[in-house]
A and B are shown apart, each in its own frame.
Chain A
Amino acid sequence: MISKFRSTALLWSLFFLNFGFAQVSSTPGQGGPAGEEGIPVMDALVKAKCGSCHTNDDRGNMQRISWERATPEGWEQALRRMTLLYDVDLTPAETGHLLQYLSTYHGLAPEEAKKVTYDVERRIHEETGIPNTVMSACGRCHNFARVLSWRRSVDDWKELSRAHAVRYNARLSEEAIAFLAKMAPLHTPEWAAWRTRVLDKSPDGRWLVTAYVLGRIRYFGEMQMESSGTDGEFNTRATLHSATDGSTVVRSGRGLMYGGYAWRGFSRTGNVTSSAPNDLSNDAQEVMTSAPDESNAEGRWFWGQYQELGFDIRMQRATSNATLLGIDRPLLKTGSRSQRIRLIGDHFPEQIAQADMDFGPGVTVRRIVSHNASEVIAEVDVALDAPLGKRQVAFRRSVMPGALAVYDRVDYIKVTPDSATASFGNQTRSRGYQQFEAIGYQNGPDGKRRTADDVELGPVDVTWSMRVFYESEGSRTDSVGTVGPTGLFIPAADSPENNFDVWVIADARTEKDSDGKPLVGKSYLVVTVPVYTFNGRRYVRDLDRWVDDGPARPVQQ
């Protein structure tokens, strides 16, 4: 039977990036709990669609399902597996309903989901602190976030191990099962607290948005979310204004809020303005997490072959109060005068005074240049002895912690990310890009760089260059790629069928070291082929790992 489950789901097919790595359930109906209370299934459609295999007990528990909780992505993978392996017949609407129900009533609490958000937001994240016994079993095939996207009873972890042994020849040791049962148990205080609050959450309304694009400073604006009238679906319209170059991005989209806090959406401008990979008008997937009290949300909107480009997003619900969203410059130097600074926000009143603004000790407002409901431009003086470091900025009662840094010098610059991967394209895979940014730091009280007390000052102006390892300065790098003036690395269009290690180098335009030389920061970039074969198997690049894509196929003659 051909499954009807396809990319139903409106948006879902766009989000799940490694479909096949699923957490593998055993044959439905097998396995069972001993000693742990299950989560009763109350939904008629779940019972109807799953009940023929996942039998009920007299408490409303369904085998396996009642002893598992998972993220929307986890449940989507499980449904996909059921449709592909067990011919479960689902319409798109039914799939959407099941995902919504399971993600809500058999989901993760926001605090639990936060630990694996990096995976769904497609952020590179170094997973540490995982015992070798676990990583040797799990890490061979997927990252640990995939594991922690589930919560299970002890028996269900054992059942998972049994199923993995059958399907993937990967059985968990007793020690590994004990670790997982302790680290990701079915019942947690977070879940117990959340499940009583999960109802009646809706993102409807107007949100104020701060969007950060690596290498481009900040965008500010708003997003309107309205119910589409379809179960759990919302239409969105976001308008973002650059804090620095005056550009505006308008995006429209749709999305679903799962479990009352997990936003999965898609947006586009409908007018891609250039072919530049980092053009902000690109279609984007949206992954955001709303705070339990719904006052704010944060996440990432992204695109690209490896979802490597996009916005970091913070949103807060709009109110009728004056709200400060941000400022247009992250740094002020001690002893500087008449520095123009722009406060961006919402509902700034018609009448304002210098005293409405607070930049912290040593920074005084000289005058207000102009103002309207969404911005205030002021001139400030910075005392020579103003305290160094990050500080909050406030407009009346609206406070932005750490919005501004006062500095007397930049001790060093750090290129972020400090190591990265980009890749050449081939016939089926587009190139993978990498955006860099140069951040200024002060050494902090201990006078040493790279220590915990260092003060991050913010982006600094630099010129970008690159150098292939072991090549002399100034050698040609065209065959590898280019790094542009905004710090975006673009691999060469023609793959040289080889990999390269490259320094991406930021030279500060104005900041100098104690010897009077421009400060320099570097990042270690590996530029790879997108696919290779090894020992008869084909491996393809994912965001931060290689995926075994099966036996290498013979070259077609």
Chain B
Amino acid sequence: MKNTVLSFLIIATALLLNPSSARGHHGWAAFPSGSQITLKGTVMDFHFVNPHSVVEFAVKDDKGQVQVWEGELTSRSNLAPRGWTATSLEDRDEVTITGYPAKNGAHAMRITRIVLFNGKELKLSGGN
């Protein structure tokens, strides 16, 4: 039967379940569920978009060098009902971010927790 339509997001999820098919967007496979890391940094940009919202933040390493990290969240469509907006994270916000790092060693992570400088934790969707 023709004509059943699924959103990109549904398919993206479905594709993760089916390794023989082409994957949707990258999904979460790039961030294996091993040990998590926690980083303190400063927000540089926040992309409140589909299929993943992305936080760019600057982190100082042990040597004082600034590294730019990209932290990925679920989609704007999933975050918006939880009260998120494009200004939920603003430039220069001090944040503490926890998540699963990318397996290829890139400065990227799948975010599981965000705590603002004032101690407020931003609510994420389940499982992300």
Contacts and interface: CB of A to CB of B under 8 A. Distances in A.
Interface in A407-453: 418-419, 421, 448-451
A533 to B, nearest CB: 6
B49 A548 contact: no
A526 interface: yes
A194 interface: no
A526 B18 contact: no
B3 A21 contact: yes
A527 B95 CA distance: 31
Given A498-B23, A532-B15, A419 B6 contact: no
Nearest to B49: A419
B108 A469 contact: yes
Contacts of A419: 47, 49-51
B23 A499 contact: yes
B8 A544 contact: yes
B4 interface: yes
A547 B8 CA distance: 10
B65 interface: no
A497 B26 contact: no
Nearest to A544: B8
A539 B6 contact: yes
Interface string A14-32: 0000101100000000000
B51 A526 contact: yes
Q: Which of A142, A418, A470, A545 has the most CB of B within 10 A?
A: A470
A522 interface: yes
Given A419-B50, A450-B87, A534-B15, A528 B3 contact: no
Q: Which of B3, B26, B30, B90 has the most CB of A within 10 A?
A: B3
A529 interface: yes
Interface string B39-55: 00000011111111010
A418 B47 contact: yes
Given A450-B86, A499-B25, A545-B8, A141 B18 contact: no
Q: Which of A18, A544, A545 has the most CB of B within 10 A?
A: A545
Q: Which of B7, B15, B25, B80 has the most CB of A within 10 A?
A: B25
Contact of A21 (B5, B21, B70): B5
A23 to B, nearest CB: 12
A546 B18 CA distance: 16
Nearest to A446: B87
Nearest to B18: A534
A31 to B, nearest CB: 22
Nearest to A538: B2
Contacts of B102: 470
Q: Which of B30, B45, B46, B108 has the most CB of A within 10 A?
A: B45
Q: Which of A128, A419, A449 has the most CB of B within 10 A?
A: A419
B23 to A, nearest CB: 5
Given A448-B87, A501-B25, A524-B49, A545 B5 contact: yes
Contacts of B25: 499, 501, 526, 528
A499 B49 contact: no
Contacts of A472: 106
A83 interface: no
Given A141-B3, A501-B26, A534-B18, A421 B8 contact: yes
A509 interface: no
Contacts of A526: 8, 24-25, 51
Nearest to B107: A470
Contacts of B91: 449
A362 to B, nearest CB: 29
A544 B11 CA distance: 12
B27 to A, nearest CB: 9
A528 B14 CA distance: 15
B78 interface: no
Contacts of A123: none
A539 B52 CA distance: 22
Interface of A: 18, 20-21, 126, 128, 139-143, 168, 418-419, 421, 448-451, 469-472, 497-501, 522, 524, 526, 528-529, 532-535, 537, 539, 542, 544-550
Given A18-B3, A546-B5, 9 more contacts: A126-B50, A139-B7, A419-B50, A501-B25, A524-B47, A528-B25, A532-B21, A547-B3, A548-B3
13 contacts: A140-B5, A448-B87, A470-B104, A470-B108, A471-B106, A498-B23, A499-B26, A501-B25, A524-B52, A524-B54, A532-B22, A534-B15, A545-B5
